Amino acid sequence: MVRAEKFDNKTVVHNYGHSGAGISLSWGSAHLAANLALETGAKDFVVLGAGCMGLCTARLLQDRGAESVTICTKDLPPNTTSNVAGGQWSPLAAYAPEGGPAYLAQYEAAARFANKYFQELNLPRYGIRWIPNYILSERPFPDYETWAERNPIADLYKDYRLLEPREHPFPVPYVQRFTTMLIEPPIFLSEVMRELRLAGGKTVIREFADVKQVLALPQQTIVNCTGLGAKELFGDEELMPIKGQLSFLVPQPEVDYITVGAGNLYMFPRTDGVLLGGTYKRGDGSLEPDPVETDRIVEGHRKLHAAMS
């Protein structure tokens, strides 16, 4: 997940590719990356990318004594992929039990650090709040003990319960409830960027054609937070895009819960609108919305809520 790579006299710390859990793991992966970067003894760092992972890594480097932190990026918020992420704190999309002991140790460490750090930032100016989640299913869920055995961070999902039909209004037989945080990326990223600049961080708009241009930077320690851009830039052929398409309804403050499930649909109520999602297309890196998927997502949510009792 996070690793350091030597290029002659330079070190590149790779912090990218988080399987749709970039927001959830952001501070935790940034913590691991910052530790590796600081182990080089450098005081002057460059971070590639200004999405959630890049901004969080840069801020932690500043807080841990870096004399200079520069972000090089082709886009700044609000024009990053992170800005259109959902923002539910639930890093299970990145959990791969077959990943091996080193991967699993990093995953759990990153998830726990990020969860704690987000709790400390649980303020309106960061766009973070606790919110109940309802997971909807046509099939039974495992009991808590079985679920917890499969999930090393089960304790971070607060107030976990399997609801009886009489306890919920949803038109499905099985509902799982827990409480997590909702992070609103436009608010969160804007605030982290503001703090970065107040602490003396610099931003440079620049796109790199290849790794040679990256290694020509004057800094000896570079943190690679380019996300999907790392596939071409550093030749990572294992990196695969996964397309998630979103639609927004006008803000509805009275909606104060998250739903996930019921035909792979999900709904997050944010202050900038009610986010509706429901696609997970592996290998699709296109940015063009599919009108067929838009209709499916919106109509699926309409039917779900029309059937609620």
The dihedral formed by the CA atoms of 192, 194, 197 and 201, expressed in degrees to the nearest 10: 10
How does pLDDT run across 143-177, given as a tens digit for each residue? 889 988 889 999 999 999 999 999 999 999 999 99
Q: Provide the mean pLDDT of the chain.
A: 94
Position 37 pLDDT exceeds 90: yes
- Indicate whether 177 and 193 sit together in one domain: no
Interatomic CA distance for residues 45 and 260, integer angstroms = 40
Closest CA to 227 of 18, 9, 76: 18
Please report, rounded to a whole number, the percentage of residues in the chain having pLDDT higher than 90.
82
Position 30 pLDDT exceeds 90: yes
Query: Which of 174, 209, 233 is a domain's end point?
Result: 233
Range of the domain at 86: 2-120+185-233
* Span 252-263, average pLDDT: 92
How does pLDDT run across 216-229, given as a tens digit for each residue? 999 999 999 999 89
How does pLDDT run across 63-100, given as a tens digit for each residue? 999 999 999 999 999 999 899 899 999 998 888 888 89
Q: Provide the token pair at 299.
A: 């109509």
Domain membership flag for residue 125: no
CB 265 within 8 A of CB 290: no
| Long-range contacts of residues 75-79, Cβ cutoff 8 Å, at least 24 apart | 75/50, 75/205, 76/50, 76/193, 76/203, 76/205, 77/50, 77/186, 77/189, 77/190, 77/193, 78/186, 78/189, 78/190
Span between the terminal Cα atoms of the chain, in Å = 44
Q: What is the pLDDT of residue 283?
A: 85
Domain membership flag for residue 66: yes
- Indicate whether 172 and 290 sit together in one domain: yes
- Indicate whether 168 and 197 sit together in one domain: no
- Indicate whether 98 and 134 sit together in one domain: no
Of 26-40, 75-89, 99-113, 231-245, which gets the smallest average pLDDT? Answer: 231-245
Q: Return the percent helix, strand and coil in the chain, to nearest 5.
A: 40, 25, 35
| Strand residue runs (E) in the chain | 2-7, 10-15, 44-48, 68-73, 128-137, 158-163, 174-183, 202-205, 221-224, 242-243, 246-249, 258-261, 265-270, 273-277, 281-282
How many domains are contained in the chain? 2
pTM comes to 0.95
Domain membership flag for residue 158: yes
* Span 276-283, average pLDDT: 88
How does pLDDT run across 99-137, given as a tens digit for each residue? 899 989 999 999 999 999 999 999 899 999 999 999 999
- Indicate whether 135 and 35 sit together in one domain: no
- Indicate whether 178 and 201 sit together in one domain: no
Q: What is the pLDDT of residue 1?
A: 76
CB 57 within 8 A of CB 225: yes
Q: Which amino acid is at 280?
A: Y
CB 278 within 8 A of CB 297: yes
We report the CATH number of the domain holding residue 191 as 3.40.50.720
We report the CATH number of the domain holding residue 263 as 3.30.9.10
Domain membership flag for residue 80: yes
- Indicate whether 56 and 83 sit together in one domain: yes
Q: What is the pLDDT of residue 239?
A: 86
Q: What is the pLDDT of residue 237?
A: 86
Domain membership flag for residue 191: yes
